[in-house]
Structure 1
Amino acid sequence: MNVKDATAKRIELLCKERGIAYNELANICGLTPSTVYSIFDSRRKNITLSTIKKICDGFEITLGEFFTHPLFDALEQEIR
């Protein structure tokens, strides 16, 4: 799993935990629905840290809380 996949999975899990649909997440975070849906599209480029920060703000968690999850503990090395 790479960083983008782990990040998308973490967002998916947080949405499920809180019963939030992706459109609702977009509204809460001040993002467009297309931005949120692009996170889950494997053909799209990487997610910016700024977007992740907005999502964390919407979930009312810190970046540290977001990234402190087993999904990020054993990521494969990213090679360009």
Structure 2
Amino acid sequence: MDYIKILILTYYCFMAKLTTKDIELKNKIKSRINLLLKEKGINQSELASLSLKDRQAINRWTNLNNTRGITIYTIGEICETFHINLKEFFDHPIFNTQ
């Protein structure tokens, strides 16, 4: 058990700190998902059901106060749920602002 605790602590100690740019991108991605929810007229619970994802995970990916990010693979899966591709996701004007 101590070995597992050491591994976990080591992982968190060596995780890279997010830069300001990283945080801005993370928040833009979260905002984009929220915009898609609004455009499609669905809520987080419905997205969870449609994408076969956990409702708490959807909440993490859409809550701007949450520090965790989202993988490109998950963004791709969310795009499939919204019937758009990654290019359409990232071509939104939200990503063109500084």
Same-fold call, TM cutoff 0.5: yes
1:55 matched to 2:65? The reply is no
The higher radius of gyration belongs to: 2
Contact preservation (8 Å) 2:27, 2:64: no
When the two chains are superposed, the root-mean-square deviation of aligned CA atoms in Å is: 1.5
Contact preservation (8 Å) 1:23, 1:33: yes
Q: Which runs of 4+ in 1 moved over 2 A?
A: 41-44
- Looking at structure 1, the residues matched to 28 and 64 of structure 2 have their Cα atoms a distance apart, in angstroms, of 13
The Cα shift of 1:44 comes to: 2.7
Deviations 1:30-60 (A, max 9, x none): 1110110001152332111111111101001
Structure 1 portions without partners, runs of 5+: 76-80
Task: Give aligned-pair identity as a percent.
Answer: 36
Higher helix share: 2
- Which amino acid in the other structure matches residue 56 of structure 1? C
- Looking at structure 2, the residues matched to 72 and 41 of structure 1 have their Cα atoms a distance apart, in angstroms, of 16
Q: Which has the higher contact order (CA 8 A, sep 6+)?
A: 1
1:65 equivalent among 88, 92, 96: 88
Contact preservation (8 Å) 1:56, 1:63: yes
